[in-house]
Amino acid sequence: MKNFFSVEDVPNVYHLIQEAISIKQKPYDYQYIGKNKTIGLVFFNPSLRTRISCQKACFNLGCHTWILDLNKDSWKIEMNDGSIMKMKQEHIKEAISVMSRYCDILAVRTFPNLLDRDDDYKETIFKKIMTYSQVPVINMESATLHPLQSLADLITIAEYSSFFKKKSKVVLSWAPHVNPLPQSVANSFAQWISKIEQIDFVISCPKEYHLCEKFSLKSKIIHHQNEAFLGSDFIYAKNWSSYLYYGKVIQKDYSDWMITEQKMNITNQAKFMHCLPVRRNVVVEDSVLDSPNSIILQQAENRIFSAQIVFLKILQFLS
């Protein structure tokens, strides 16, 4: 693997999941491969899990790492070409080019602006980053995708389904939130899960919240949450903002979309998933998050191994 932007960079998703599960058993087996290598982690947006799991993955592989939080630790970055830079001190062109000279792999997080749908869905910023970097680039969440999260999600589902031996019904359920959030986790999950034949995948969302067809075309969509939940083995809750009414806050009460214990009771004793951070009692009830069927912490732990297997593949490519 030369770069890791989306699932399309992965030759075989089943193999990658299997290798991630193996590396989880013996996380320090590849320390030789990271010797004298540096992975730079660059954040244009906040993070807890991505930042620390990637740092731990680097440690497991024997790599050095440095982290830059561009919100706090550096110059203000100008993203647009041709601008007269009176307000911002550094252009993304120099910033990325320079940072890529300080590492062997550059991992970057950038969120959408949620104003201009075309601009976000063209991945204008991430494409610039890939152009200006002189080393391989890893997507730690871009305007439309969060592939390290999706890989961790599939590792988790694989662990709880005997590596997809049993046909499972997985429901990605939209849930309410107080702010408009990116669509990246949901887009990416739909894209990755479409590669797994043994999964019956359903998206449950209000009609105003259909995802972009590019990612959800192969997915079954059910607008009634209870109907979608019937017989399901995994419920993955996530809020995302409207693709149709892009960047707009829809003034409607969606609180009855919150995931409750009552709704979980109509599933096939489904495992509950969420990528975190999660707003308790807005997105999902306490009793669901705290139940024995909640696998949110296992899912978060698997972020280490999704990052580690991707870093390993790129380090192997470089060696």
Summarize as ranges the residues that interact with ligand CP (CB under 6 A).
47-50, 149, 275-277
- State which residue, 91 or 149, has the beta carbon closest to ligand CP: 149
For residues 146 and 7, what is the distance between their CA atoms, to the nearest angstrom? 10
Least distance (Å) between residue 150 CB and ligand CP: 11
Angle between helix axes 13-25 and 296-318 (nearest 10 degrees) is 100
Q: Which residues pair with 11 in a beta bridge?
A: none
| Bridge partners, residue 65, by sequence | 39
Minimum CB separation of residue 197 from ligand CP in Å reads: 26
Alpha helices in the chain (DSSP H): 13-25, 49-60, 92-100, 117-121, 124-132, 147-159, 184-193, 213-216, 225-229, 261-264, 286-289, 296-318
Quick one: 211 or 273, whose CB is closer to ligand CP?
273
Residue 33's Cβ-count burial label (10 Å; 0-12, 13-18, 19+) is: middle
Q: For the CB of residue 28, give the shortest distance to ligand CP in the complex, in Å.
A: 24
CB-nearer residue toward ligand CP: 169 or 303: 303
Token duo for residue 49: 């899990």
Query: CB 47 → ligand CP: shortest distance, Å?
Result: 3
Residue that is written with structure tokens 């244009």 in the block: 44
CA distance 135 to 132: 9
Under a CB-based contact definition with an 8 Å cutoff, are residues 136 and 128 in contact? no
User: Shortest distance, CB of residue 188 to ligand CP, whole angstroms?
Assistant: 11
Burial of 165 (0-12, 13-18, 19+ CB in 10 A): exposed
Q: 222 - beta bridge partners?
A: 204
* 8 A C-beta contact, residue 142 and residue 7: no
Give the Cβ contact number of residue 45 at 10 Å: 15
Shortest reach from residue 317's CB to ligand CP, in Å: 24
- Nearer of residues 46 and 231 to ligand CP, judged by Cβ: 46
**Between residues 91 and 146, which has the closer beta carbon with respect to ligand CP?**
146
Nearer to ligand CP, 212 or 276 (CB): 276
d(CA 123, CA 112): 8
| φ, ψ (nearest 5 deg) of residue 310 | -70, -45
Query: Closest approach of Cβ 275 to ligand CP, in Å?
Result: 4
In angstroms, what is the minimal distance from the CB of 276 to ligand CP?
Answer: 5
d(CA 202, CA 221): 6
Which lies closer to ligand CP via its Cβ, residue 47 or residue 124? Answer: 47
In angstroms, give the least distance from the CB of 146 to ligand CP. 6
CB closer to ligand CP, 69 vs 208: 69
**Closest CB to ligand CP among 50 and 294?**
50
